[in-house]
Amino acid sequence: MDARDEHLTLEALGLADAPRDHPLRYPGVRPSGSGLLDGDRLLPLDRLAHPGRTPVVAVGSNASPAQLRHKMAESGVSSPVPMVRARVTGIDVGVSAHISRHGYVSASPVGSPGTARQLFVIWLDPEQLATMDATEPNFDRVLLPAPQVRVEQENGEALLGCFAYVNHHGVLHDGSGAPRRHRDQRALIAELLAESVALRELFGGTPEEFCRRARSDAGLRDRGTRLFAQEKRVTVSGLEHLRVR
């Protein structure tokens, strides 16, 4: 590596810890601005739009450079990934109604007219897109509807044809029937455990124990996912009708 780029490494930028390794830090640290993820470096981005690539709105850990780096490296994909900060109106960040193999409860978009969030758009080439689809077995990649959902990159340019990954198990509600909003992972898991005796019996009484048991036992994760539905804690995201890729 060129010594001039040492300050652009994920380690130097404080972006090196992936949620897959630190589940209670999900969704991971996001960059302060747009950049080009190139292996272990986040380089300056010379342009925002990238013809020939597919723009995907990242609502969870796909906006973590460390998580993205792991996903691509595991599949032998080494091409850079443009990451563009954007303002997204019309969706909010809900809670997926399944337990991830990495031990956390992930995020999923929910329809929310008028809500605006600062998110990232990742621009994926065909190989990267296939890799990403393969890493999201609990999600469907859907085309976000314009103008109900508006995606504006940091220069104010509106994007059309953006996709997002929507959990096909549905999302968890907040007790009133409305989608629960994703929050700090430790607080979220503590809240879910406090609300369900059966969930505590499966995963223990603390977020740390929840993550440890979830990471080590696929069958337990499946039982926990089914329990969400059995306890009627699941609702629709409002995006189920969208066209799947």
Q: What is the average per-residue pLDDT within 105-114?
A: 96
| Average pLDDT of span 6-31 | 95
pLDDT of 2 > 60? The answer is no
3-class secondary-structure state, position 119:
strand
- Domains: count for the chain: 1
pLDDT tens digits, residue range 126-149? 999 999 999 999 999 999 998 899
Residue 216 covered by a domain: yes
State the CB neighbour count (10 A cutoff) for residue 37.
23
Q: How many helices (H) and strands (E) does the chain have?
A: 7, 11
d(CA 97, CA 199): 13
Q: Is there a domain that residue 52 lies in?
A: yes
For residue range 84-102, what is the model confidence (pLDDT) as tens digits?
999 999 999 999 999 999 9
pLDDT at residue 66 greater than cutoff 90 = yes
Q: Give the pLDDT confidence score for residue 185 in this predicted structure.
A: 98
Average pLDDT, the chain: 94
Mean pLDDT for 170-184 is: 95
Which range of residues forms the domain containing residue 110?
A: 3-235
pLDDT at site 243: 63
pLDDT at 190 over 70: yes
Q: Do the beta carbons of residue 166 and residue 241 sit within 8 Å?
A: no
Residues 221, 101 contacting (CB under 8 angstroms): yes
For residue 10, the domain's CATH number is 3.10.490.10
Instruction: Kindly state whether residue 242 falls inside one of the protein's structural domains.
Output: no
In a domain, 245, yes or no: no
| Confidence (pLDDT) at 58 | 98
Q: Is residue 10 part of a domain?
A: yes
- Assign 245 a pLDDT band (cuts: 50, 70, 90): low
Whether 240 is covered by a domain: the verdict is no
For residue 134, with 0-12 CB atoms within 10 Å meaning exposed, 13-18 middle and 19 or more buried, which class applies? exposed
Instruction: Let me know if residue 244 belongs to a domain.
Output: no
Distance CA 167, CA 25 (A): 20
Structural contact between residues 90 and 113, judged by C-beta atoms closer than 8 angstroms: yes
